[in-house]
Every structure is written in structure tokens, then in C-alpha cells.
């Protein structure tokens, strides 16, 4: 007898995202100029850490640096911005329209607390890289004992 594998609590968000993309793709294929709800663009992001830092890399190609915003607290990063559409040429007719345009916003929870004052960001080749120093909670500090 074969059993059905059931996973609780994992990948629910991913399933919703895939379903939403499928629905969006159906609308775009039917009519590429269909106006979809705002903030449907979700740039791909990677989060990884080293012993000293947490790094976030986002694929935001086609977004001007001036149109990007990064907000950080000790537990999360908010990345938002705008990708502007290419100007329409009179008589232009789409045959395929897959590149999403418009506003986007991603709020990413970080795996460990960070020190917001030691964060830095760079933007090269369409990739936004945010490097954040981990907050050292349990760091042992040796102090000198003074004579009275």
C-alpha cells in the first residue's frame, strides 16, 4: 500500500506564491496589458550568513539605484523600490510580456539579530547586496580590576 506524504507548516507560502504566479501568468497570456494589482512583483532574494555577518542578495535588475530603499532593524530588512516600464512606441504590439514592472516590497525576517548601525549595501549588475554585522549577545568582555 502506498502512503501519501503530508507536510505540515512547510512551504505553504511557496505554494501560495506558485499559485499566484500561475494565475498572474494566465492573465498576462490572455492579455499582456491587463492591469494586475499593485505590488505583484516579488524579486528573488537570498539570505545567508557567515560567522560574523548576515548577507541578503536581491535580484532587482532594471531598477535604478535611486528607486531602491532599504530599511533595517535588528530582526528584519525591508527592501522596496520601483521598476519603471519601458516607454510604449506608437503601433507597438506585444507578443510576450513576462517582465514585471511597478512597485515591490519585501520584508525579510533575519535568522539572527544584527547591529543596524553596521549595515552596508551595494548595487552591482542588477544585484542588491546588504551586509549586516551580527549583534554579539553573549560576547565575553574582560575588564580590568582597579585598585581603590
- Flag whether pLDDT at 139 surpasses 60: no
CA-derived radius of gyration, the chain: 22
Grid coordinates of 33: 496589458
Fold of 39-86+97-134: Immunoglobulin-like (2.60.40)
Indicate the range of 35-39, 57-61, 119-123, 139-143 predicted with least confidence. Answer: 35-39
pLDDT tens track for 50-94: 999 999 999 999 999 999 999 998 889 999 999 998 888 899 888
| pTM (2 d.p.) | 0.66
CA separation for the pair 106, 7 (Å, rounded): 26
Phi, psi values for residue 7, rounded to 5°: -115, 125
Q: Look at the block and give the residue holding cell 555577518.
A: 53
Q: How far apart are CA 106 and CA 42, in angstroms?
A: 7
**Per-domain boundaries in the chain:** 7-36, 39-86+97-134
Q: What pLDDT, on a 0 to 100 scale, did the predictor assign at position 97?
A: 83
Amino acid at each position: 500500500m502506498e502512503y501519501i506524504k503530508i507536510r505540515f507548516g512547510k512551504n505553504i507560502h511557496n505554494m501560495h506564491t506558485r499559485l499566484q504566479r500561475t494565475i498572474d501568468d494566465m492573465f498576462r497570456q490572455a492579455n499582456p496589458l491587463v492591469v494586475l494589482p499593485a505590488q505583484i512583483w516579488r524579486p528573488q532574494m537570498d539570505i545567508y550568513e557567515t560567522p560574523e555577518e548576515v548577507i541578503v542578495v536581491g535580484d532587482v535588475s532594471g531598477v535604478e539605484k535611486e528607486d531602491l530603499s532599504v530599511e533595517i532593524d535588528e530582526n528584519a530588512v525591508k527592501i522596496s523600490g520601483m521598476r519603471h516600464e519601458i516607454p510604449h512606441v506608437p503601433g507597438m504590439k506585444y507578443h510576450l510580456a513576462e517582465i514585471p514592472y511597478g512597485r515591490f516590497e519585501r520584508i525579510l525576517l533575519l535568522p539572527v539579530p544584527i547591529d543596524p548601525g553596521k549595515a552596508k549595501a551595494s548595487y552591482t549588475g542588477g544585484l542588491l547586496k546588504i551586509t549586516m554585522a551580527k549583534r554579539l549577545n553573549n560576547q565575553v568582555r574582560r575588564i580590568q580590576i582597579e585598585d581603590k
